[in-house]
Amino acid sequence: MSLPEGVELTELDGGLRVVTETVPSVRSVALGLWVRTGSRDETPGQAGVSHFLEHLLFKGTKRYSAIEISEYFDGLGAATNAATSKETTHLYSRFLDEHTEKALDLLTEMFLSRRSRRSTPSVRS
């Protein structure tokens, strides 16, 4: 695969692919996490589940509530969002380079963690 000048693709031992591009004159970072699962992977009975799961990314983690996630990224001056396509579901953020470690930590937690059942409000009929 041919990549544009300044763009590098690194594959880690576990198969995780990392794409980086360095632009020396820019201090901002655009960071995204993609999963190769989207609406095309859903059966008719599952239609919309990828999009639903995308929204759950912002509902909280073991350490942060939904409002705390929002406040955390606001405090970094970051723009954060997620999207679902036919082929992928992804979470992304843009922020100043000085916040890379903090933003990556929370984005990763959002992607890999979920709130415990005890901290989730119960629904009764």
Residue 55 forms part of a structural domain: yes
Reading the chain (125 residues) residue by residue, the pLDDT tens digits are 788 888 888 988 888 888 888 888 999 999 998 888 889 988 999 998 889 888 888 999 999 999 999 999 999 999 999 999 999 999 999 999 999 999 999 999 998 886 654 444 444 44
- Catalytic residue of the set 5, 21, 42, 54: 54
DSSP symbol at 65: B
pLDDT of residue 123: 47
Residue 92: CATH number of its domain: 3.30.830.10
Closest CA to 58 of 105, 113, 122, 16: 113
Residue 37 forms part of a structural domain: yes
Residue 66 forms part of a structural domain: yes
Is 54 marked active-site?
yes
Closest CA to 107 of 67, 75, 64, 77: 64
Query: How far apart, in Å, are the Cα atoms of 71 and each of 68, 76, 119?
Result: 5, 9, 19
Residue 63 forms part of a structural domain: yes
Residue 81 forms part of a structural domain: yes
Residue 123 forms part of a structural domain: no
Residues of the domain holding 28: 24-116
Rounded Cα distance, 117 and 104, in Å:
25
pLDDT of residue 2: 87
Domain tally, the chain: 1
pLDDT of residue 70: 96
